[in-house]
Amino acid sequence: MNLAKMQAVMSRRFDGLSVHGIGFTDFAILYLIHQAPGGRLRRTDLAEKAGLTASGITRMLLPMEKTGLVAREASERDARVSYAVLTPAGRRIFEEAKETANAIAKEILPADITRNQSLTELFKLLGTTI
């Protein structure tokens, strides 16, 4: 229950990203592509990292391709895979949204560093147990 509520509160808070015309998941996707080696990610890997299914990624990326935030790039080695890359517009929106996201994160997390630390520690913990 706490988890569901927490999740609900989190994504509600990050609604501030909508000023950039993107949602929380879109931001996550831009982030993941941005920091991937070579600035590109196979859709399958993107799905795994974002905690979605492959079909979820197809559907999320469709409007993002239409509005020109991300683009497809074929693989030279494997005709099945297509990479997701950021367009210049996508990079720009991501940088802007990152500022907003950071501001929101700072607002949510207390200034108190010890708390912040236990938070990251907690996430680490959850990462290992799941």
Partner DNA sequence: TTGAAGTACTTGACTACTCAAGTATATGGC
Partner DNA sequence: GCCATATACTTGAGTAGTCAAGTACTTCAA
Q: Which of 21, 63, 68, 110 binds DNA (CB under 7 A)?
A: 63
- 42 lies in the binding site for DNA (CB under 7 A): yes
- 122 lies in the binding site for DNA (CB under 7 A): no
How many residues belong to the chain? 130
Residue with Cβ nearer DNA (43 or 98):
43
Burial class (CB in 10 A: 0-12, 13-18, 19+), 59: exposed
Identify whether the C-beta of residue 27 lies closer than 8 Å to the C-beta of residue 105. Answer: no
Q: How far is the CB of 5 from DNA (least distance, A)?
A: 10
- 44 lies in the binding site for DNA (CB under 7 A): yes
- Measure the CA–CA gap between 130 and 122, rounded to whole angstroms: 12
- 81 lies in the binding site for DNA (CB under 7 A): yes
Q: How far is the CB of 104 from its own copies (least distance, A)?
A: 12
Within 13 Å and on the Cβ side, how many CA atoms surround 41?
21
Residue with Cβ nearer its own copies (74 or 109):
109
Which range of residues in 48-56, 88-96, 107-115, 117-125 is near DNA by CB under 7 A?
Answer: 48-56
Ramachandran class of 45: left when φ > 0, alpha when ψ lies in -120 to 50, beta otherwise: alpha
Q: Across-strand partners of 86?
A: 70
Q: Which residues bind DNA (CB under 7 A)?
A: 8, 12, 15, 23, 25, 42-45, 51-61, 63, 77-83
